[in-house]
C-alpha cells in the first residue's frame, strides 16, 4: 500500500511530456526531442499534401494511386486520431458556481445566457433529479474520413494557384467506451483502423496514450473531454457555459437557436504554450434550440501560432482548428435526455508563412451511442489512475 502511495505521489511531481492538441506523427521525431518537434510533424504532414498536389498537376497522379500508398494512409489515420480522437473542451470547469448579488449588475448578454442554460437543464431532465447519478458508462461507434485537402500557392504575379486533392480516403470505422466519475474524472478508449487511443483524467492530470506517440500529459488547467459535452453529460456542458454571453439567434438546419459564446481566459490559454507553439485563443459556441431547449450544435475554434525557421529568416505560421458538431437523436436514460447520434466536421487551416500560401484540410466523424449506464457498481477512483509508464523515471 505504501509503495502504491509513493507511485501516485510521483505522478504529480514528475515533469511529463506535453500533449499537443493537434495532429502529430512521432516517426519523424527523436525520442528525446518530441515536445520540440511536435509542430514540425504537423508541417511535415502538410508538406506531404503539397507533394501530392504537385504530382497531381505534373504527373497525372490519380487518387487511386494515392490510396495504394500505405504511409500516406497511415498519416491520414493518425491525423484523424490526433484531432478527433480525444479533443478536450476549450475551458476548464469552474471551481465554484458564479453568484450575482444584484440582477441590475448583470449584463443582459450574461443574464440571457444564464436563462438559456437553465432552460437547457430543465429540458434535459437535470433539474428534477441529480442528473444521472454518481458515475456513467457509455459505448458507441465512429466512422472517420479525411475528406479533402486544399493547397494554395502564390504565382509571383499577384495570382494564386489552388489545388484540391478531393476525397482521398475511405471511411474508417471504429468503436469507443467512456467512463466518467464526477465531472473531472474520466477515461476513454477508442479504436479505429487497428489503432488505439487511450486517454483519461484522475482529476489532476489529463493524459493520452497512443502506440506511436507514447504517453503524454496535457498542459494547463484541467479540462473535460469534448465527447462528454457532446450530449452525454448535460450538467457538465451547462457548467462550461456558466460565464457565457448570448450572441443572439441563428438558424441551424430547421431549428431556430440561441447562440452562446464562452472564451478561455488568457492566463489559462498561456499555460498551454509549449516550445515554438503559442496558443492564441480557444473559443466555444453552443447552439440551443428555441423549440426544445436542447443543445443541437457545438463549435470550438482553436488558434495556435508556431515559430518557424527558414533558410534565411525566422517567421511564424498560424494553425486554426475548428470542430463543428451536430448533436441529435436525444433519448431518455434514467430520466435524463442523452444525445445518441452526431456528426463532427473539422477544418485544419494553416496560413501566415507566406502571404499567398495556405493549406486547408477537412475531416469528418460520424458517431453513435449504443449504450449508456448510470451508477455503475464497482467503479471507483482507482479506475482512473494514469498508466504505469507515467510513473516510470
Delineate the domains of the chain, giving CATH numbers in brackets: 83-91+111-390 (2.50.20)
Backbone torsions φ then ψ of 285, nearest 5 degrees: -120, 135
Q: Note the pLDDT tens digit of each residue in 31-72.
A: 444 433 344 445 555 555 555 544 544 444 343 443 444 666
How many of the other CB atoms lie within 10 Å of CB of 273? 16
Most confident region among 46-60, 68-82, 175-189, 209-223 by mean pLDDT: 175-189
pLDDT of residue 68: 41
Task: In whole angstroms, give the CA distance from residue 171 to residue 193.
Answer: 10
> Which of 94-108, 183-197, 285-299, 314-328 has the highest average model confidence (pLDDT)?
285-299
- pLDDT at site 372: 96
What pLDDT, in 10s, does the model give residues 300-347?
999 999 887 655 556 788 889 999 999 999 999 999 999 999 999 999
Segment among 15-24, 102-111, 137-146, 230-239 with least mean pLDDT: 15-24
Strands (E), 225-313: 245-252, 255-263, 277-289, 295-309
The answer to whether residue 134 scores a pLDDT higher than 70 is yes
DSSP state of 386: P
What lies within 8 Å, CB to CB, of 26 at 6+ separation is: 34, 37, 41, 212, 213, 214
Q: What is the pLDDT of residue 129?
A: 60
252-265 mean pLDDT: 95
Of 113 and 127, the one with more pLDDT: 113
Between residues 43 and 128, which one has the greater pLDDT? 128
The 10s digit of each residue's pLDDT in 60-111 is 434 344 344 466 677 778 888 888 899 999 999 887 665 555 566 788 999 9
At residue 115, the pLDDT reads: 95
User: Helix 70-84 vs helix 34-58: angle between axes, to the nearest 10 degrees?
Assistant: 130
Question: What's the CA dihedral at 47, 52, 58, 60 to 10 degrees?
Answer: 180
Poorest-pLDDT segment among 12-21, 142-151, 266-275, 287-296: 12-21
- Predicted TM-score of the model (pTM): 0.80
More confident residue, 130 or 135: 135
Residue 190 has pLDDT above 50, yes or no: yes
Report the DSSP pairing between strands 245-252 and 206-210.
Answer: unpaired
Type and span of the H or E element at 330:
strand 314-333
pLDDT band for 290, please (50, 70, 90 cuts). very high
Least confident of 14-18, 78-82, 294-298: 14-18
Amino acid at each position: 500500500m505504501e509503495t502504491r502511495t509513493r507511485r501516485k505521489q510521483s505522478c504529480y511531481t514528475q515533469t511529463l511530456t506535453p500533449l499537443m492538441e493537434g495532429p502529430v506523427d512521432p516517426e519523424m521525431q527523436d525520442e528525446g526531442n518530441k515536445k520540440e518537434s511536435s509542430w514540425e510533424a504537423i508541417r511535415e504532414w502538410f508538406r506531404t499534401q503539397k507533394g501530392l498536389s504537385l504530382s497531381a498537376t505534373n504527373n497525372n497522379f490519380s487518387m487511386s494511386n494515392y490510396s495504394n500508398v500505405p504511409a500516406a494512409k497511415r498519416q491520414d489515420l493518425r491525423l484523424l486520431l490526433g484531432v478527433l480522437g480525444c479533443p478536450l473542451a476549450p475551458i476548464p470547469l469552474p471551481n465554484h458556481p458564479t453568484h450575482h448579488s444584484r440582477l441590475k449588475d448583470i449584463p443582459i448578454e450574461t443574464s440571457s445566457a444564464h436563462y438559456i442554460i437553465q432552460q437547457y437543464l430543465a429540458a434535459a431532465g437535470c433539474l428534477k433529479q441529480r442528473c444521472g447519478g454518481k458515475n456513467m458508462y457509455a459505448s458507441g461507434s465512429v466512422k472517420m474520413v479525411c475528406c479533402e485537402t486544399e493547397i494554395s500557392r502564390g504565382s509571383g504575379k499577384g495570382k494564386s494557384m489552388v489545388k484540391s486533392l478531393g476525397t482521398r480516403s475511405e471511411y474508417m470505422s471504429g468503436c469507443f467506451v467512456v467512463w466518467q466519475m464526477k465531472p473531472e474524472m474520466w477515461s476513454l478508449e477508442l479504436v479505429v483502423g487497428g489503432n488505439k487511443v487511450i486517454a483519461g483524467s484522475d482529476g489532476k492530470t489529463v493524459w493520452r496514450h497512443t502506440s506511436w506517440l507514447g504517453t503524454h500529459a496535457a498542459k494547463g488547467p484541467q479540462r473535460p473531454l469534448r465527447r462528454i459535452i457532446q450530449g452525454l453529460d448535460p450538467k457538465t456542458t451547462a457548467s462550461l457555459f456558466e460565464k457565457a454571453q448570448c450572441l443572439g439567434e441563428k438558424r441551424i438546419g430547421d431549428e431556430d437557436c440561441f447562440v452562446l459564446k464562452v472564451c478561455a481566459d488568457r492566463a489559462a490559454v498561456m499555460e498551454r504554450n509549449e516550445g515554438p507553439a503559442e496558443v492564441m485563443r480557444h473559443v466555444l459556441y453552443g447552439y440551443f434550440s428555441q423549440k426544445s431547449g436542447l443543445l443541437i450544435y457545438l463549435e470550438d475554434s482553436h488558434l495556435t501560432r508556431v515559430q518557424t525557421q527558414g533558410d534565411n529568416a525566422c517567421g511564424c505560421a498560424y494553425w486554426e482548428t475548428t470542430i463543428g458538431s451536430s448533436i441529435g437523436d436525444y433519448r431518455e436514460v434514467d430520466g435524463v435526455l442523452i444525445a445518441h447520434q452526431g456528426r463532427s466536421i473539422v477544418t485544419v487551416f494553416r496560413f501566415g508563412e507566406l502571404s499567398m500560401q495556405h493549406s486547408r484540410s477537412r475531416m469528418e466523424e460520424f458517431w453513435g451511442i449504443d449504450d449508456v449506464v448510470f451508477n455503475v457498481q464497482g467503479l471507483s477512483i482507482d479506475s482512473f489512475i494514469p498508466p504505469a509508464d507515467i510513473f516510470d523515471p
